[in-house]
Every structure is written in C-alpha cells, then in structure tokens.
C-alpha cells in the first residue's frame, strides 16, 4: 500500500511554531521520518524547533529546488511507493506556492499518491485577506522580472488587470523590496491602491493599504523585510 505526502507548513520567520501552526499539524510532522525539502539545513532547524529531541540523524532527507532534475523527483517518491509517508517542506510558509514543491506534487498525482495539505501560515493569502482588496477575483504573480525594463512592462500589465477588478498579488526578495516599491510608484497611476504586507506573523508585522498618492508622501523602509504586495 502506498504512503501519502503531507504538505507541511513552516513558520514565516522566528515566530514560535505553536503560535501559528495547529497542534495536530505539529504532531503529524513530529511523527514523520521521510522529508523532501527546499533546503535541508533550514528544514532540520525547523524540526528541532518543534521538537528538541527530533531524531534528525535517523531521518531521510532529499532536497528539491529549481536545479532538481525531473528524473530525480520520481526517485524521491520511492519511499512512498514502499508504504512510507513523506513530508514536503518549503523554506517558509506552505509548499507548492512560489515553491519548487509543486513539481513533486504534480508527479505524485500522476502516480496516484495521496496528497494531504496541512493548515499553517501563508504570507500570500494572509496578505490578500488583510488588504481589503478583491479576495473574490485575484491573481498571484509570484516574483516579477529582475531587469528594470522587463519589470516596468510587467507592472503595467498588472495595473491593467487590476483596473479590470482583479487584485494583483506579487512578491520580491527582501533585498530588492525597496527597488520594487520605487518602481511601482514610478510606473503605476497614483489612484491605484497598494497593500504592503510586511513580516506577517512576526513582532514587526505591518499591513497597510492606501493609494499610491498617499504612499508617495509616506515612504516605508522595506529593506530586508519579508513583503507581499497587493495592487488594485
């Protein structure tokens, strides 16, 4: 009989796991010994965070990232085919969204392996529901292009979609947040609303939505913060 794949939530920063992840989910995670993770070191750190006595050395880990070959992914599922349950973990938040774990989940479905999502923090959804913007019709765009000219083109496309009523959700790496914010101000019309959701679930959490014209006179410091942007 095949095992199952559990989609394990991870804290979004230094938050105490029990404050944002249900006890039942933590219990399931503590009981697993096979893991496919985005980064092994951070996965081990999280497991020790939720259980100081977690048997790291007795557990099986495989790393799944943008460099992982498709043929390797099928091999990663061998323990499941032998009846073992596996936990899939991103570096933070939920696996499968803006995360290479989606490739493994797709392969699991093709092999008719049961996929079980577990409840936990998602900065993307938490930003959207806290923004006051359209949670009925929205698009998650992941990370926008790094090259300035390509980013400007993409932002104009997002603004067009936002004006059609679809909230546009996107992200940036912490060290490029400020540049992203500046490009939004330069590119988009001042009557657009922008939610900046920073450090969700952390003590420094800040979630503010206002027009770009208002942001223009109240520039935030987003450097090295975990930020999700919502534009509409």
Structure confidence at residue 202 (pLDDT): 94
Structure confidence at residue 183 (pLDDT): 96
Mean of pLDDT values over 69-90 = 94
Query: How does pLDDT run across 86-120, given as a tens digit for each residue?
Result: 999 999 999 999 889 999 999 999 999 999 999 99
Domain boundaries, the chain: 4-117, 123-231
Q: How far apart are CA 29 and CA 33, in angstroms?
A: 9
**Are the CB atoms for 46 and 67 separated by under 8 Å?**
no
Q: How far apart are CA 87 and CA 8, in angstroms?
A: 6
Structure confidence at residue 63 (pLDDT): 95
pLDDT(13) > 90: no
Helices first, then strands: H and E counts in the chain = 10, 10
Q: How far apart are CA 19 and CA 129, in angstroms?
A: 19
- Among the listed residues 43, 45, 93, 104, the one whose alpha carbon sits nearest the alpha carbon of residue 71: 104
4-117 and 123-231 share one CATH topology? no
What is 4-117's CATH number? 3.40.1010.10
pLDDT(179) > 90: yes
pLDDT(83) > 90: yes
* Helix, strand, coil distribution of the chain in percent, nearest 5: 40, 20, 40
**Are the CB atoms for 36 and 62 separated by under 8 Å?**
yes
Kindly state the tokens that stand for 145.
Answer: 């292009």
Mean of pLDDT values over 15-21 = 92
pLDDT(14) > 90: no
3-state secondary structure 33-52: CEEEECCHHHHHHHHHHHCC
- Among the listed residues 7, 18, 19, the one whose alpha carbon sits nearest the alpha carbon of residue 205: 19
Superfamily of domain 123-231: Tetrapyrrole methylase, C-terminal domain (3.30.950.10)
Q: Which of 65-74, 77-86, 115-124, 168-177 has the lowest mean pLDDT?
A: 65-74
Query: How does pLDDT run across 24-60, given as a tens digit for each residue?
Result: 999 999 999 999 999 999 999 999 999 999 999 999 9
pLDDT(213) > 90: yes
pLDDT(19) > 90: yes
Structure confidence at residue 66 (pLDDT): 86
Q: Quote the Cα angle for 191-201-119, to 5°.
A: 105
Query: How does pLDDT run across 117-173, given as a tens digit for each residue?
Result: 999 999 999 999 999 999 999 999 999 999 999 999 999 999 999 999 999 999 999
Structure confidence at residue 15 (pLDDT): 85
Average pLDDT taken over every residue of the chain: 95
pTM of the model: 0.91
């Amino acid at each position: 009989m095949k095992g199952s794949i559990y989609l394990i939530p991870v804290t979004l920063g230094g938050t105490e796991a029990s404050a944002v992840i249900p006890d039942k989910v933590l219990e399931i995670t503590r009981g697993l010994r096979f893991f496919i993770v985005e980064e092994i070191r951070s996965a081990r750190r999280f497991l020790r965070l939720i259980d100081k006595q977690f048997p790291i050395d007795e557990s099986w880990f495989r790393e799944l990232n943008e460099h992982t070959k498709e043929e390797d992914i099928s091999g990663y599922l061998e323990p499941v085919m032998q009846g073992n349950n596996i936990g899939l973990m991103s570096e933070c938040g939920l696996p499968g969204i803006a995360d290479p774990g989606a490739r493994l989940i797709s392969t699991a479905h093709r092999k008719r392996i049961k996929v079980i999502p577990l409840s936990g923090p998602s900065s993307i959804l938490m930003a959207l529901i806290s923004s006051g913007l359209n949670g009925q019709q929205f698009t998650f765009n992941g990370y926008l292009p790094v090259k300035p000219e390509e980013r400007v083109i993409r932002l104009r496309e997002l603004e067009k979609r936002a004006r059609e009523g679809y909230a546009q959700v996107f992200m940036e790496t912490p060290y490029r947040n400020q540049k992203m914010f500046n490009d939004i101000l330069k590119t988009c019309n001042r009557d657009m609303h922008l939610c900046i959701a920073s450090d969700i679930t952390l003590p420094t959490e800040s979630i503010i939505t206002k027009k770009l014209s208002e942001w223009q006179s109240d520039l935030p410091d987003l450097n090295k913060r975990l930020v999700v942007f919502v534009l509409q």
